[in-house]
Chains A and B, each alone.
Chain A
Amino acid sequence: MTAIEVKDLVKKYDSITAVNGISLEVKSGEFFGFLGPNGAGKTTTIHILCTLLKPTSGSAKVNGYDCVTQALQVRSSIGLVFQETTLDRELSVYENLLFNCYLYNLKKKVAEARIDEILEVSGLKDRKHHSIMKLSGGMRRNLDIARGILHRPKILFLDEPTIGLDPQARIHIWDFINKLRKQEAMTVFLTTHYMEEAEKCDRIGIIDHGRLIALGTPAELKRMIKGDVIHLRTTRDLEIEQMIQKQFQLSTKRTPEGIFLEVDSGEAFIPLLFKTFGDQIQAININRPSLNDVFLHLTGREFK
């Protein structure tokens, strides 16, 4: 079954085209990652899917319902965790959760049971009656997510669930997300601009300037790059890049971080490089292609 179906989606703000003709499908139960740099259009896309914004053109269906004409049905079948927290600082953890339960029309008894259950899973059990102000950033984020699934949505949208958190807190959030996925068997649509997080998804879409520039499993995407990626730091990037292009007929990418080369075999290529530019090379690295290299390959820019 198809959980999300997007066709030629366009969203224009006054002068900016935030989403520029995106089409994609997400299958039921899939863990889909939307990867893109700042301002790529991730949040805008999510907001359209969650019926908060109307598309300028194109269509979007969620759980089989049209995001424009059947907004109410879409909303009752999804959970959304916003990029910025929407917790009410003047209420306690429990009160925040209860607020959501009632918004989704859950009966008191059901609500209480769900709240206790979710506090257990999220590791916030002993914080039930604490004020939001007393929670750490990571705990607040956990609570934001917990709140998004109280009504057992079929699809959970997570807009940058770990942005701004320290590595420890990020690990916690991921444990929580994984637990939820096992328990609820729901579709998860996640946006991120962390490569490592995108790697954990079943499938990812890379978005840049409002366009979907790649779509597939992380492994498939990395196969777009044939061999290895060599990362070179030199004293004179500009000249050396040109010389490499001439001499080896290679396509190269240059960023403030140095020069990137895609070669069939890194081990075989490095001695050649040294023979020619030995004294100008400051540092050299061979890597199996990462999603960052894929992004670089596709856009000519480094991620972020």
Chain B
Amino acid sequence: MLAFRPIYIIMVREFKRFFRQKGRFFSALARPLIWLFVIGSGLAQIVQAPDRFSYKQFIFPGILGMVVLFQSMLSSLSTVYDREFGIVRLLLVAPITKLTVVIGKIASGSFLATTQGVILLILAPFLGIKIGFVQLLSMLIFLILTAIAISSLGMLIATQMNSLENFAGVMNFVIFPMFFLSGGLYPVKLLPKALQAIVYINPLTYGIDLFKHTLLPEIYRTGRGTDFPVEFDIFMLLLFTLITASLAVVFFNREGKLVLLGRRPRG
């Protein structure tokens, strides 16, 4: 059912492409810094951080979440690009299952996203957030769980996209709302009730909640920080992953759609 080597090589390819596309690489590097130091500084004037915390400290888990969100989504959505260049057809004609392909793609995005999250953790001490071995290990696990959940959602979205032209739509109607409605930038309680509902079906909410538990444990149950118990966050992420990943496998290449869309003149 599952083959290791194909998954491995799908990941290797994603990695090489990430480092070769200089634009992708540098924007991945710059995005969190811009949010933390430029936008974060501005928002700090408006939004009050919970007692005893600076606003930068408060949004740091949210920025980690953003890094995971963007990388996981972009990697998964690159399946649409792969389709336009025929790579998906190559995968479809190889003796591997759809499950293997989908897991390979999810693993690729999750690996890149987690790596970026871990690298960003280097900044934590400079913001006055202490990280010991236990925190580092928990963060690693939580980053992976979050990345997998979002990559799975990304794969599900990719199966529904006909071309990269819809990319801007996904950016505006999925990626940005997920970021803003995750409790990462401001406490969820500040939002109107209707929007809070979206927060609760957003996997990023639970990921960022886990990051807050680990990095800012003092704000647990202060009403202005974390909102759920750790076990619940983990449960929600796993549930979300299970649902979206299964649907992605089901919808992947339904009715030979990927084969047909992949047909383009040779260039």
Contacts and interface: CB of A to CB of B under 8 A. Distances in A.
Interface of A: 43, 47, 50-54, 72-73, 75-76, 78, 80, 82-86, 88-91, 95, 98-100, 102-106, 137, 163-164
Can you list the 9 inter-chain pairs with the closest CB atoms, starting with the nearest?
A86-B86, A102-B9, A76-B95, A103-B94, A75-B95, A53-B256, A52-B259, A102-B5, A84-B266
Interface string B85-105: 111011111111100000000
Contacts of B267: 85
Interface in B251-267: 255-256, 259, 262-267
Contacts of A86: 85-87, 89-90
A114 B255 CA distance: 34
A53 B259 contact: yes
28 contacts: A43-B263, A50-B93, A52-B92, A53-B256, A73-B95, A75-B94, A82-B89, A84-B86, A84-B262, A84-B263, A85-B86, A86-B87, A86-B89, A88-B85, A90-B20, A91-B16, A99-B13, A100-B90, A100-B94, A102-B5, A102-B9, A103-B6, A103-B9, A103-B94, A103-B96, A105-B3, A105-B95, A106-B5
B259 A89 contact: no
B95 A72 contact: yes
A90 B22 CA distance: 12
Contacts of A43: 263
A254 to B, nearest CB: 33
B41 to A, nearest CB: 37
Contacts of B6: 102-103, 105
B82 to A, nearest CB: 9
B21 interface: yes
A271 to B, nearest CB: 49
B13 A88 contact: yes
Nearest to B7: A102
Nearest to B256: A53
Contacts of A53: 256, 259
B16 A90 contact: yes
B interface: dominant SS: helix
Interface string B1-23: 00101101100010011001100
Nearest to A78: B93
Query: How big is chain B's contact interface, by range?
Result: 20 to 34
B149 to A, nearest CB: 27
Given A52-B256, A90-B16, A91-B17, 12 more contacts: A52-B93, A53-B259, A72-B97, A84-B86, A91-B13, A95-B13, A103-B9, A103-B90, A104-B94, A105-B5, A105-B95, A137-B266
Contacts of B21: 90
B266 A164 contact: yes
A99 B92 contact: no
A76 B265 CA distance: 27
Contacts of A104: 94-95
Name the residue among B86, B87, B90 with the largest chain A CB count within 10 angstroms: B90
Interface in B6-50: 6, 8-9, 13, 16-17, 20-21
Interface in B159-207: none
The CB with the most chain A CB atoms within 10 A, among B5, B20, B255, B265, is that of B5
Contacts of A73: 95
B243 to A, nearest CB: 26
A75 B16 CA distance: 27
Most chain A CB neighbours (cut-off 10 Å) among B3, B5, B16, B266: B266
Contacts of B259: 47, 52-53
Contacts of B85: 86, 88-89
B93 A84 contact: no
Nearest to B267: A85
Nearest to B265: A84
A85 B13 CA distance: 18
A83 B94 CA distance: 16
B113 to A, nearest CB: 20
B87 A75 contact: no
Contacts of B97: 72
A237 to B, nearest CB: 35
A95 B20 CA distance: 13
A186 B209 CA distance: 58
B195 to A, nearest CB: 40
A104 B100 CA distance: 12
A73 B94 CA distance: 10
A106 B95 CA distance: 12
Nearest to A80: B93
Contacts of B93: 50-52, 75, 78, 80
Contacts of A75: 93-95
Given A75-B93, A90-B17, A99 B9 contact: yes
A91 B21 CA distance: 11
Nearest to A43: B263
B259 to A, nearest CB: 5
Nearest to A76: B95
A261 to B, nearest CB: 38
B139 to A, nearest CB: 31
